[in-house]
């Protein structure tokens, strides 16, 4: 096991099998739609790459990058857009792709922001979901796995920018926060 990982939570095989199932659902739901998959950087880059390659539809890919507004983020739910979309999304079907939904504040803010631009729809696809940590009501249309409210890393998720490259998801040994997106 890699240094710093207390326990593996999801193997690369489990992740890959679930990703294929989610892609199948997405392929079914977005047939004859105008799909734009939007990854939330940095954490979603691995999941988006694997998911998109399993979706059997024409689609566009774009990214947003967000960062917290200092210490107030949790209470205000306001996030700073560090990198906005390059693509126009008016009339298109946006699928926000995230590594993990924790409090839900980031995606709540992002969906509201994107809905203001007149897309046909905005839905959420997240590999991981921590239902016990949720602070706002949020519909996660495609959810890979529910995980306990522990700090997890790997498969795109970081602790202080490390562990993103691990091909599996594991629980960090010294629990804490410090994920930076």
DSSP H/E element including 121: strand 121-129
Q: Which of 50, 93, 99, 102 is catalytic?
A: 102
Q: Is 103 in the site for ligand IMP (CB under 6 A)?
A: yes
Burial 116-145 (b: 16+ CB within 10 A, else e): eeebeebbbbbbbbbeeebeeebebbbbbe
Which residues within the stretch 28-57 sit at the binding site for ligand IMP (CB under 6 A)? 40, 43
- Choose which of 152, 154, 166, 170 interacts with ligand IMP (CB under 6 A): 152
* Least Cβ distance, residue 54 to ligand IMP (angstroms): 21
Q: Is 156 in the site for ligand IMP (CB under 6 A)?
A: no
- Choose which of 105, 122, 124, 166 interacts with ligand IMP (CB under 6 A): 105
Q: What is the dihedral of CA 14, 178, 135, 21, to 10 degrees?
A: -20
Which residues are paired to 129 by β-bridges? 101, 146
Q: Is 104 in the site for Mg ion (CB under 5 A)?
A: no
- Choose which of 35, 39, 43, 152 interacts with Mg ion (CB under 5 A): 43
The closest alpha carbon to 121, from 143, 142, 96, 92, belongs to 92
The region, left, alpha or beta by phi > 0 then psi within -120 to 50, assigned to residue 47 is alpha
Is there a catalytic annotation at residue 132?
A: no
Which residues within the stretch 149-168 sit at the binding site for Mg ion (CB under 5 A)? none
* Least Cβ distance, residue 116 to ligand IMP (angstroms): 19
- Choose which of 5, 94, 114, 157 interacts with ligand IMP (CB under 6 A): 157
Tokens of 73: 């983020």
Q: Is 170 in the site for ligand IMP (CB under 6 A)?
A: no
The closest alpha carbon to 38, from 102, 90, 84, 105, belongs to 84
Site string for ligand IMP, 68-87 (x = CB under 6 A): --------------------
Residues that bind Mg ion (CB under 5 A): 43, 181
Show which residues are catalytic: 102
């Amino acid at each position: 096991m890699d240094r710093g990982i207390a326990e593996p939570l999801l193997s690369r095989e489990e992740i890959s099998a679930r990703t294929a199932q989610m892609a199948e659902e997405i392929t079914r739901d977005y047939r004859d739609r105008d799909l734009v998959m939007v990854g939330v950087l940095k954490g979603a880059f691995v999941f988006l790459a694997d998911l998109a390659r399993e979706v059997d539809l024409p689609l566009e890919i774009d990214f947003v990058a967000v960062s917290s507004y200092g210490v107030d983020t949790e209470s205000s739910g306001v996030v700073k857009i560090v990198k906005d979309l390059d693509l126009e999304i008016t009339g298109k079907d946006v699928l926000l792709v995230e590594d993990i939904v924790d409090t839900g504040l980031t995606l709540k803010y992002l969906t509201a922001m994107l809905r203001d631009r007149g897309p046909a729809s905005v839905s959420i696809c997240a590999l991981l979901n921590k239902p016990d940590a949720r602070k706002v009501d949020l519909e996660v249309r495609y959810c890979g796995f529910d995980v306990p409210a522990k700090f997890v890393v790997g498969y795109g998720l970081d602790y202080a920018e490390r562990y993103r490259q691990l091909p599996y998801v594991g629980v960090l040994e010294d629990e804490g926060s410090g994920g930076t997106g």
